[in-house]
């Protein structure tokens, strides 16, 4: 039986994510226990809030180490959402410079827009710009270019990342809104708040990883 865990490190958007998976007929366990992660078949790393508070919580509880062991050694599928997406990278410049989980290369920095009408935080529905190659054998398969999804964030991975699945434009600012590298999948937006499109992406991720 598949055991999917949602990591509770005190900053997560836990129950809306759990409810989204339940609507797909998948039960997830919300946990902060190291042993649960050691025995899981997939990991969801959510998050809303401060990067430095998040990484301190993960490091101090031992969750960071066990997550990295599961992902890098056992090749357990990992889905990072919003702050959980940002934590996948080397570091963030939010409130100084703080190291992330270093599962992917890249630096998270503050969104910079030149037009006053584009406020920070970026809190709105916005478009996914998806290359045709990323519509085939990835969690974005069958997702149309320019589909709208829901964002809430002030920091982002600027430009197009080497592992980018999709990008998004906010005024003059371009950022990576989704990545995939081997068993690591990350989304800057909230699929659990993005209606049928978000649920389709989650369902694709489950099926690609034989979790459904």
For the question of residue 190 being annotated catalytic, the response is: yes
Dist. CA 110–CA 24, nearest whole Å = 34
Among the listed residues 122, 153, 161, 190, the single catalytic one is 190
Choose the catalytic residue: 122, 147, 166, 192: 192
Catalytic-residue membership of 192: yes
- Bridge partners (DSSP) listed for residue 169: 174
- H/E element, 107: strand 107-110
Give the integer Cα–Cα distance in Å for 74 and 121: 36
Tracing tokens 């037009």 back to the chain, one arrives at 115
What is the enclosing helix (H) or strand (E) of 91? Answer: strand 91-92
In eight-state DSSP terms, residue 33 is -
Could you count the other beta carbons within 10 Å of the beta carbon of residue 70?
Answer: 22
CA distance 67 to 71: 6
CA separation, residue 12 to residues 51, 131, 166, 173 (Å): 12, 30, 23, 27
Active-site position among 40, 82, 122, 166: 82
Pair of tokens at residue 58: 């993960």
Q: What are phi and psi of 30, to 5 degrees?
A: -90, 125
Whole-angstrom Cα distance, residue 162 to residue 164? Answer: 6
> Which residues are identified as catalytic?
82, 190, 192
């Amino acid at each position: 039986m598949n055991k999917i865990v949602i990591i509770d490190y005190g900053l997560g958007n836990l129950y809306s994510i759990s409810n989204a998976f339940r609507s797909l007929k998948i039960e997830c366990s919300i946990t902060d226990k190291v042993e649960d992660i050691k025995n899981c078949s997939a990991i969801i790393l959510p998050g809303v809030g401060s990067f430095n508070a998040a990484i301190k919580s993960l490091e101090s509880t031992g969750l960071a180490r066990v997550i990295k062991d599961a992902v890098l050694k056992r090749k357990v599928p990992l889905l990072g959402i919003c702050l959980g997406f940002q934590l996948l990278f080397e570091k963030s410049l939010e409130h100084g410079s703080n190291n992330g989980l270093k599962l992917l290369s890249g630096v998270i920095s503050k969104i910079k827009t030149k037009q006053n009408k584009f406020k920070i935080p970026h809190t709105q529905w916005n478009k996914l710009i998806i290359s045709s190659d990323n519509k085939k054998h990835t969690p974005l398969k069958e997702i149309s270019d320019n589909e709208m999804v829901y964002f809430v964030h002030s920091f982002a991975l600027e430009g197009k990342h080497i592992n980018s699945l999709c990008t998004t434009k906010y005024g003059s600012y371009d950022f990576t809104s989704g990545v995939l590298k081997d068993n690591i999948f990350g989304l800057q937006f909230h699929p659990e708040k993005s209606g049928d499109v978000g649920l389709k992406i989650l369902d694709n991720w489950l099926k690609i990883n034989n979790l459904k």
